[in-house]
Amino acid sequence: MSTSTIASARRNTELGLIVMAAVITTSAYVLASLAQDATIPARVVPFLVITLGLLLVAHIANRVLAKGAEPRLLPLAAFLHGIGYVMIARLDQDLAGLQATWTFVAILAYIGVLVFVPDTRRLARWNWWFLGIAIILLLLPLVPGLGRSIGGARIWVSIGPINFQPGEFAKVLLALFFAGYLADKREVIADGVRIGPIRLPELRHLLPIAIAWGFAVMIMVAQKDLGSSLLFFTLFVVMLWVSTGKVAYLVTGFMLFAVAAVSAWMLFDHVQTRVSIWLDPWPDYEGTGYQPIQAMFAFANGGVDGTGIGLGSPTKIPAVQNDFIFAAIGEEFGLLGATAVLLAFVLLIGAGLRVAIRSERPYETLLATGLTTILGVQAFIIIGGVVRLVPLTGITLPFVSYGGSSLVANYVLLALLVRMSDMTARRLGEVPDELSFGERLERRMARRRQRTQTVAPASGERGLPV
């Protein structure tokens, strides 16, 4: 099979899966509206144009900018995004309008990454800048006048009418920094020095990344954002383990996590409250236990096949469009629908890890692993909290929960995975190794800069530098 045929087959597969996701999403949207007023909504056309049309634009961008990309990444994100949007629209039409606006911004960001990042390896030279920007973003909510505390966690920033969570973008930047630093220092960190039967990394090599991780976690603890703290901790441990291949780092990381968890429970009242609610929410049914108890009622009410979309009572759960949207899905779509969402996340994580495995370059392998870890751990933390597998933390479900900053950050993350999968396909000869649109644009701009650096010669004189 020729390389052009392979590229075309991948994009056609992607288009077919996107159309399937669009059919599911549109059907759910119509059923939700029929359940409310028994009429097909007039706004179904704007819904198709704005939300599903934007996903089609993203597919066209893949055809032009990333012909060899993994064909399952975008459709799985489209399915999760579509289901989430339907639930948000069913819960609150005003929020649905805002989410549609953020969808537009997210797809622009997705296309922008594909255009301006033709080669992810070039990002490695900016890894210290990424760390600096990430630290600034994490500190923003603590700035008086900018930061806002919602739900007990000070993780929001308000600039005029715009509210966003800078930590959502910081997680991607930290993954970029960890990948760049560990790809450069992985050998010296893995070798280290031997102390008896144990081999430890040299402190001077491990210290910069440990400080970066520790600083991020301390900021999250100060902001009472324990979910992001756990996310950054897991990201650090997993990427350190993958870069060195030492299981000892993974075991040590889990031991440190256990110590940190016990210490947090002993030092912070809000941690004790969340653990108590996790163990037994019933003593405080009308207070802090009300939200998880209503979520349990929602799952019980949904049963195996659900109440039917639009026929449940998910609005009884406070902040259902954010932290507890999975409970709303479980009630109205039932166990089958909730399992479908879980399987979509599993397949998305599998596709991301496939990108990491196929890449033979350390930086791309580490970056793809880190980005996929973010998606997987974040989904596990919030879904596990809703079903009471782990204590509840206030983070969003990727692509599903309401939230503009989360949606934009996750589409940027997705675009980086798409770009790396396309680079691998071109390097392995699976698709034509031609210059991408971004590379052609970059070369055109370089030629233009070169022409403007010399003054046109006059009457036989040589041109002089400007």
At 165-219, the pLDDT tens digits run 888 899 999 999 989 988 887 776 666 556 555 555 666 656 666 676 676 666 6
* Domain-located, residue 62: yes
User: Bigger pLDDT: 460 or 410?
Assistant: 410
| pLDDT tens-digit readout, 402-414 | 888 899 999 999 9
More confident of the two residues 54 and 342: 342
What pLDDT, in 10s, does the model give residues 87-134?
998 888 788 888 888 999 999 999 999 999 988 988 988 988 998 999
Q: And the tokens for 423?
A: 């680079």
Domain membership flag for residue 76: yes
Biggest CA-to-CA distance, the chain:
93
Could you tell me if 420 and 364 are in contact, meaning their C-beta atoms sit under 8 angstroms apart?
yes
pLDDT at 351: 95
Q: Which domain holds residue 261?
A: 3-442
What pLDDT digit, counting tens, does each position of 264-322 carry?
777 777 777 888 888 888 888 888 888 899 999 999 999 998 898 888 888 888 888 88
Distances from the Cα of 145 to the Cα of 39, 130, 164, 219, 410, angstroms: 46, 25, 14, 18, 27
CB contact set of 305 (below 8 Å; sequence gap of 6+): 334, 335, 336
- Could you give the number of structural domains in the chain? 1
Residue 463: inside a domain, yes or no? no
How far out from the chain centre does Cα 436 lie?
25
Sign of the dihedral defined by the CA atoms of residues 354, 355, 361, 366, in that order? negative
Phi/psi at 102 (nearest 5 deg)? Answer: -70, -30
- Taking only the tens place, the pLDDT of each residue in 55-97 is 889 999 999 999 889 999 999 999 999 999 989 988 887 888 8
How does residue 464 score in pLDDT terms, banded at 50, 70 and 90?
very low
Pick from 206, 193, 195: nearest CA to 236: 206
Average pLDDT in the 19-34 region?
A: 86
Note the pLDDT tens digit of each residue in 356-382.
Answer: 999 888 999 999 999 999 999 999 999
Query: Contact at 8 Å (CB) between 276 and 294?
Result: no
| pLDDT of 339 strictly over 60 | yes
The pLDDT, as a whole number, for residue 418 is 96
Tell whether 458 is covered by a domain.
no
For residue 461, being part of any structural domain is answered with: no
- Nearest Cα to Cα of residue 219 among 209, 229, 204, 227: 229
Number of CB atoms found within 10 A of residue 447's CB: 10
- Contacts with 300 (C-beta within 8 Å, 6 or more apart), sequence order: none
The verdict on residue 410 lying in a domain is yes
pLDDT at 92 (0 to 100): 84
CA distances (Å), 402 to each of 29, 198, 324, 378, 396, in order?
16, 47, 10, 15, 8
| Residue 195: count of CB within 10 angstroms of its CB | 8
Contact by Cβ (8 Å): 74, 58: yes
Give 30's contacts (C-beta < 8 A, 6+ positions apart): 40, 41, 44
Backbone angles phi, psi at 399, to 5 degrees: 70, -15
- Measured N-to-C along each axis, helices 73-91 and 325-332 cross at an angle, to the nearest 10 degrees, of 80
